[in-house]
Structure 1
Amino acid sequence: MSWVDGATDSLYSVHHLPYGVFSTKDDTSRRIGVRIGDQVLDVRALVAGSTCPGCTTCAALGADDLTPLLAAGPEAWSKVRGQLQEALTDTEYKASVSQLLTPVARVTMHMPFTPADYVDFYSSEHHAVNVGKIFRPDGEPLMPNWKHLPVGYHGRAGTLVPSGTDIVRPSGQRRTPEGEPVFGPCARLDIEAEVGFVVGAPSPMGSSVSPDGFTEHVFGVVLVNDWSARDIQAWEYQPLGPFLAKSFATSIGTWVTPLEALAAARVPAPVQEPAVLPYLKESDRYGYDLTLSVKWNDTEVSRPPFGQMYWTPAQQLAHLTVNGAALRPGDFYASGTVSGPEKDQRGSFLELTWGGSEPVTLADGSIRTFLVDGDTVTISATAPGPRGVTIGLGEVTGRILPAAG
């Protein structure tokens, strides 16, 4: 139990302690913070009085983003987490540490780490089947390779943006109903509710990481909104897949939940049939029992279940590296759209409105198929924690602005 007021019953209890990067009006420098309840602990100030000069971990905690801490590796991550929990539960530290707390409402959050590479996967069978039925109603919904490997594409790390960043409607080339190419603002702007994984410990080029090495390399989890221009995507994606329809912006949460905080949320992953190749086999096959919530303006329209993802985060990491691709601190990969079997569990508006043929009515009476300028989308999630507590992942939100020019 934490001595911080209100923290014990919070989604951000001492069992969670997500990391972020913040600044304040009085101190605009960016530094690492840890959320406890409705407060942010200034980690830089905490380690400033460290009695271990030359300590690389303390130096990492004093950095202006999480990247040096990511590079420190799992032993350092676990040690720091334990020390933070001690500082926030032992009343011996209350007098000194309480001076380093700032209310969440008074901080500005920033990108939590420096992105290196970005990969997006396509790992929900429910989502893949829905999309296949929408685009290929007379064919097989799943492509022949889908159950043999985690399908993905290499995204654009430079347009990963922190939660709260406004999203300018993209323009691009698309095809008219008559089949003619035209250029203009996207008319079918969509979202994809996803879960993202922040890589910490590196791996050398020419090697690969097995699924069982997942916890040795992945630091933590954030929520993701992979904004998608469906009309641009439909025209450009053959034969090489998503490009301009995805690269204009991908929003991520500003609070990174440590992987260790989700230990109680592990659940058995779906059975895979046919059997996967040896490099994708896990000795302990699990996913995470996260329940996402998607709000379109002020209306909750979906609650996708992450625990039903066909391909696990560990398998995604193994596939990402099996060709010898190196991992770097700050590498980032996302799960792909999270969808469940029910209509109110679909993680994209493409699915929710069935390609625009089944409009959604919002709480204010307005009707939507895809996003209009001024709309805001907010994705949040909860997960079971230890001792019956509930953990809440930091939300990711964004508002649509009109196309430029």
Structure 2
Amino acid sequence: MVHEPIVLDTSGVDIQGESARIRARGPVTLVELPGGVPAWSVTDATLLRTLLADSRVSKDPRQHWSAFINGDITESWPLLPWVIAENMFTAYGTEHRRLRTLVSPAFTNRRTQAMRPRIEAITRDLLDTLAATPPGEAVDLRAGYAYPVPIRVISQLLGVPEHLDADIHKCVDGFFDGSLTPEESMANFVEMAGLVGELVAYRKENPGDDITSVLIGTQQEDGSRLTDKELVDTLMLVVNAGHETTLNLIDQSIHALLTRPQLREDVLAERISWADVVEEMLRYEAPVAHMPLRYAVEDIEIDGISIPKGEAILASYAAANRDPKVHGDTADEFDPLRSTKDQHLAFGHGAHHCIGAPLARMEATVALPALFTQFPEMQFATEPSTLAKLGSFISNGHVELPVILQPAR
């Protein structure tokens, strides 16, 4: 039976419900992205894992996406910023390996572990501010905690000077804002590229112990280094990916614990570890629900599934992470003790597996226990079922998390 493509709801009001509907069509389903652009949504976890590691699947639209090559994808397409950057995110084959090799020194285990004291200091500072909230008064934990933790971490990691900080943060918000028009989205992308270019210029004159300075000085044995454009686009990738995923991970974890009193009790009593909570949350509510885009380098035939050469592929992490063939009949339940929780694809897989995954896990496992230890009695200030979701089919979080940190005396 031939189905019409499922038109993705870009408002993201029901990401999991829509993911289930797409999955019900089969392991690979034709969907329609904004602007009427078709793509193959892969919701089967095993198949998606295979495709993510398959050399016949590319992330370079310039080489392998027919619609892009033919000029059908123009500046009016709202998702254009997701595909036009020139960095690891959109590179393929030897070019991807070159870029990843150049970027890897900035994300060593030593450098990641060295961030822990800074993350702890950032959380302490934010908690001190939150502690000044009068008892009984509501505060938004997304804006007041889940947001500033990763954005401050990434700003320190990149060595962003104070005079650029606020403007770069504003552009990060715009990158994931589904309500922007194509013109506004492109203008935001251009503005951010300019700001990051200023960051690079600043760090060339004022080098420090930060990722920007490391990448400026990184060089391969053959003498190649990142071009200025590759450097700017790579730093934009680090800022956007490193912030939004961790923000949504902390957001969704707070929501899960505040809506499950027994779970919160078990975690605070150390019957369940924070690491298990974080790993299951990555599975249960993938911070990025659908990741644009990949492309078939040639005709792909796998398990009776056909994806024609040159067509777009959408990695639907939210759906794949709840695949009952992997996680059983309880795939739609949040269970930090499930044995398959680490078999998620929240950070991708294969050559493009997120290079910052260890940092995101560290941020969450520092920020969450600090928050819940300081405010063990906090409760939502409103009915949690009424909380609005982000206006995005990509970014999976809430608009706000209004809570009462301390009961009124």
Does TM, normalized by the shorter one, top 0.5?
Answer: no
TM-score (norm 2): 0.26
Higher helix share: 2
- Greater relative CO, 1 or 2 (CA 8 Å, sep 6+): 2
